[in-house]
Amino acid sequence: MPAYVVSMMSIHDPKTYKKYTDRTPPIVKRYGGKFLTRGGDVTTLEGEPYQDRMVILEFPSKQSVLDWMAEPEYQDAMTFRHASSEARILLQEGDNDRYDPDPKL
């Protein structure tokens, strides 16, 4: 079952943050992940305007995401993200029932 990562970052040091973004693509790929979006414009349709960076990734499974996050090379790259931004990173598993999803109320 696919898993999705939504990362929302407020960047205060772009030069240091770039050291993070330069390192992440090959590590993401190694764990079967792919970028669905990577920092493009975000249009707020409802609620407070969102003006920070957003990245959405897809991985083959939740375990792939957890393994990627635990990867020592990625842990090293994260030091640059931690030093240059504040982030909120969410993980949600996909659902096999995409055409008539259970609303889970």
Domain ranges of the chain: 3-93
Q: Against a cut of 0.85, is the pTM above it?
A: yes
User: For 60-85, what is each residue's pLDDT tens digit?
Assistant: 999 999 999 999 999 999 999 999 99
DSSP structure string for 43-98: --SSSSPP-SEEEEEEES-HHHHHHHHH-HHHHHHHHHHHHHEEEEEEEEE--S--
pLDDT at residue 105 greater than cutoff 70? no
User: For 34-61, what is each residue's pLDDT tens digit?
Assistant: 999 999 999 999 999 999 999 999 999 9
Q: What's the CATH class of domain 3-93?
A: alpha beta
